[in-house]
């Protein structure tokens, strides 16, 4: 019950930010937004779910036959609903691993699939940012856009370096973690159990990396198509409102806003994402247009995930598994 109240409060905060920024004029602009374009944007999200379900089955490798196309679509929608409904998206990986385990995929392999999925996302954003940096060399940028590019580059390269550091020194990190747990007087049985889980995960992640090169290229291609579609929603919202902003800058605004939302630890970044995007977008297109675009963008990429994914989540996951997920989070 407390989690539901927390989610409702976050949604109210998220709605309040555009209202305060745009005022009464925002609603007039939203009402004039083309319905046909809104339906196209919702269709893009459904297509994103389909792309992610294919990507999931590819990453499962020899286990893909255990999860059919329709079932994988349900797993993807349930996982993304959990990510939107929990602080920092913490419920997403737990939901994915639990649903895969229900279909005979070991938790270690499920966590490896999720890690590979996140690594593919990081590689896409790095490539996209390099493309935008190259494009920006031929543009006369404002100080605000230069700051956005610099911040994005630092955050992405920092994330990539952290991944490389963990991969290179994972054995030493495991030993340091074991010493720390021993210093904290954690029982030896608990330390050994977590040590086995980490080693199983590393073995499963190595197996995932050994998938055929063609499969890995297909996964990355689907990743690029998914994020290109999803990150075009704000651009289309601005176009529908009559604003002229290049796709590259709308991409940067979304990336920074959603990153701020993740760091806020609110469900789906509600409130923080709207506030950050309003601060970045309002000087470019005006307050009322920015507020209307943000409301439409979040309605398609956040509220729709909750409304459409919620029933699927409760139908696929079921009450016993929900209780198990809650116990896992509390452990």
Degrees to nearest 5, angle at CA 76 with 85 and 324: 60
Range of the domain at 185: 2-330
Given this model, what pLDDT does residue 170 score? 65
- The rounded distance, in Å, linking the Cα atoms of 24 and 100 is 47
* Number of independent structural domains in the chain: 1
- The rounded distance, in Å, linking the Cα atoms of 92 and 86 is 8
Residue 68 near residue 316, CB atoms below 8 Å? no
pLDDT < 70 regions, the chain? 1-7, 9-10, 140-146, 148, 167, 169-170, 174-178, 181, 184-186, 190-191, 319-331
Given this model, what pLDDT does residue 238 score? 93
Q: What region, left, alpha or beta, does residue 110 occupy, with left being phi > 0 and alpha being psi -120 to 50 degrees? A: alpha
Q: Which two tokens stand for residue 101?
A: 């385990």
How many secondary structure helices (H) and strands (E) does the chain include? 15, 0
Residue 281 near residue 294, CB atoms below 8 Å? yes
What SS3 class is residue 269? coil
- Per the listing, tokens 């889980």 go with 197
- What is the per-residue pLDDT across 264-296, written as a single tens digit (0 to 9) for each? 777 777 778 888 888 888 888 888 888 999 999
Q: Quote the pTM value.
A: 0.85
């Amino acid at each position: 019950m407390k989690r539901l109240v927390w989610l409702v409060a976050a949604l109210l905060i998220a709605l309040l930010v555009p209202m305060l920024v745009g005022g009464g004029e925002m609603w007039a602009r939203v009402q004039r937004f083309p319905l046909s374009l809104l339906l196209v944007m919702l269709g893009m999200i459904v297509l994103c779910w389909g792309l992610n379900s294919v990507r999931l089955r590819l990453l499962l490798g020899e286990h893909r036959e255990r999860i059919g196309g329709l079932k994988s679509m349900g797993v993807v929608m349930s996982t993304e609903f959990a990510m939107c409904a929990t602080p920092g998206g913490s419920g997403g990986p737990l939901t994915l691993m639990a649903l895969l385990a229900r279909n005979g995929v070991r938790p270690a392999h499920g966590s490896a699939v999720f890690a590979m999925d996140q690594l593919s996302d990081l590689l896409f954003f790095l490539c996209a940012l390099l493309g935008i940096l190259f494009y920006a060399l031929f543009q006369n940028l404002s100080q605000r856009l230069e700051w956005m590019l610099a911040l994005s580059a630092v955050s992405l390269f920092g994330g990539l370096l952290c991944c490389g550091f963990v991969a290179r020194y994972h054995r030493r990190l495991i030993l340091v973690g074991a010493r720390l747990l021993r210093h904290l007087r954690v029982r030896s049985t608990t330390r050994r159990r977590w040590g086995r889980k980490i080693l199983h995960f590393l073995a499963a992640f190595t197996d995932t990396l050994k998938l055929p090169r063609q499969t890995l290229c297909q996964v990355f291609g689907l990743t690029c198509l998914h994020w290109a579609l999803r990150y075009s929603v704000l651009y289309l919202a601005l176009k529908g409102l009559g604003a002229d902003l290049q796709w590259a800058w709308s991409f940067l605004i979304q990336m920074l806003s959603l990153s701020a939302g993740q760091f806020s630890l609110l469900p789906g970044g509600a409130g923080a994402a709207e506030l950050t995007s309003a601060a970045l977008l309002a000087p470019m297109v005006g307050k009322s247009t920015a507020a209307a675009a943000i409301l439409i963008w979040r309605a398609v990429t956040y509220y729709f995930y909750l409304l459409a994914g919620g029933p699927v989540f409760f139908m696929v996951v079921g009450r016993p598994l929900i209780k198990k997920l809650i116990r896992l989070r509390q452990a």
